[in-house]
A and B are shown apart, each in its own frame.
Chain A
Amino acid sequence: MAQQLFTRDTQAIFWNNNKTAIQRMLDYDYTIKRETPSVAAIVAPTSGNKFEKFFFGPDEVMIPLFKTTADAKAAQPQADALLNFASFRTAYDVTMEALNLGGFKSIMITAEGIPERLARGMNEFARSKGVIVIGPATVGAITPGAFKIANIGGTIENIVNSKLHRAGSCGLVTRSGGLFNELSNIISINADGIAEGVAIGGDRFVGSVFIDNLLRMEQNPNVKYMLLLGEVGGVEEYKVIEAIKAGKLTKPIIAWCIGTIAKYYDSGVQFGHAGASANDERETADAKNAAMRKAGIHVPGSFNDIPEIISAVYHDLHAQGIIKDIKEPHMNICPKIRRSKEFICTISDDRGDEATYAGFPISSVATPDTGKGIGDVISLLWFKKQYPKWATDFIETVLKTVADHGPAVSGAHNAKVTARAGKSVVESLVTGLLTIGPRFGGAIDGAAKYFKYADDNGLDPKAFLKYMKGEGVPIPGIGHRIKSLKNPDLRVTGLMNYATEHFPSTPLLDYARTVEQLTTSKKENLILNVDGTIGILMVDMWRALGYSEKEINEFIESGTLNAFFIVGRSIGFIGHVLDEKRLAMPMYRHPMDDILYDVPVAEKI
């Protein structure tokens, strides 16, 4: 049997996106300086979101959302506590699914009023699987300094007041959630706080009962004495008495059963929880209190005398040296006022004396004496890294290379036509930019994607060609209108020479060259063109800079390669627009004789 319910590494899957309760858990985590949030995933069957934002101290963290427990468990297999916040209608199904999935050590169920027969079956099934069930109808459990379930302990201020942020020496077990909190407070005032606490739940049939929790606490070296708060109804307290008699419980126990008033009324008056109803004399609070007192348990005269008895037991154990003084740990303080941010910015900051690019003041990269160029600015603002000079020079080379390709290409043409319609520079520019896509400029993306795919999967050039044929697309980055190996594109030659000389290595380019050998053997102009070379060398650059293949794939998928083309070609487009303005060219109308008119009369349908 595990000695402790939870550790500082315990993580939970939270079933139902109960934001207040989850936030309370993360506030607790921050306060006790946990390294990981105690909630690893949230199951929200009807949500379309992928993440939910929460505060972690002053910062915010994203916790992933899943539609099913199975998905959440697959993504976060280390999370071995399920916090089942489903309603009484679905709580049973959620628990049974989790038990069948396996991998959970504990399941907490908050719903009150699960059908009794279902609850009994569920509790028994969990027991057979060795899973600790806390609840149903509970506020949860806590291992101070390690992990707390949902709302137990209340606000973070109350938690610190009640010393629930670090382990004390009492093991606390109650039925009631509200009185759990009250007793934590009383224990913190009269002793040194609790080492572990469980509110077992108010329903008639709960999973782990008093004795299960006390036996675990008996094994927990942090627990020096235990406090049990029972209620009228049921016979669970007698199991504790049996365990004491059998020598299975040896630590001092303080206990009290509430509901002594019930004896004055007939069974028609239901005091407290569903489980709180005496079916015979043995189940009354008075009988249980008397029996526990007889068994050597410290039983006060009334609830009001509990503080006194706690103080006495604690000081006795302290005097014996069994309980040592606790050095109060340092803790974080959660900021009182936090507002969730609408936007997140991780690249630049204009709040200080001088605005910065990824931490560098603009003046430190702007003027020529800084030795920094536009490649450095891009590396800071796009990638939040300081790239080495060979890489920033390469980026600049790319921008310069793609800056323009004459007035006839469709992007430049569109920009020119718009400028001649009397539109402004920005309007004309974006008309040109909007042309960029899969056919215009897109070959850079495509080349990087497909060549990288072939290289990653170890396809030889022949297999790659076959694969591309299967995809039904020409290989992006291969082919030129007029250039060939014999009549090379000097832009390409320049890029390749630079890379060969300055890159630490160029594995993807080397691979692409073997593909080029094969394609040019079929047709002379099927060379690696400038788009293909840029895409491929960008991948080689990132590889040499130490990015993982996953990160590089994300760059490709997010359109980062296209971005280089967009920035570079904007220079050319603006040039064409200014050219039109300078020439004051009139509105353009396409010559009609350049259009094939073929317009049949529409058929009636």
Chain B
Amino acid sequence: MPKKEFEYHLRIPSRTDNLELIREFVSKVAAMVGFNEDDVGKIELACDEACSNVIKHAYENRNGNRRLDVLIRCDLKKFTLIVTDHGKGFDPTKIKMPDMKEYLAELKVGGLGIYLMKTLMDEVDYSIKPGMRNQVKMVKYLINKKNSSAVFVGGNRE
């Protein structure tokens, strides 16, 4: 049986004014492979949070022109989103998931990006090599999706 896997790649300057374009790219591919509107929205937001973190933290500059890569890999079962930067990186073991009850009670600000990514996606993994290559890999499974048969309608590589 031929392997059905597709890749879509966006390489873009790391600026916040590019977030809209990144979201459009990710949403269109997610919709094309068969996710419903609700899941497309979740993938769109998770990707935005990952890219916003790169711009704000890894590159520490809202309007820099460093390289930001968004790679989508999808097959019949899953949709994998990989965000890569070459900035400062962070220690993923030190990330604390906020207790939302406490967060709201204390009127805290910020730090919700990773919480959202983990809540919205099925899997979130990091590969951090500061200054060289940092990656956030997020997975959403397509199985049991009503329209999963629509996968690869837009593709032709087999």
A and B: partners?
no
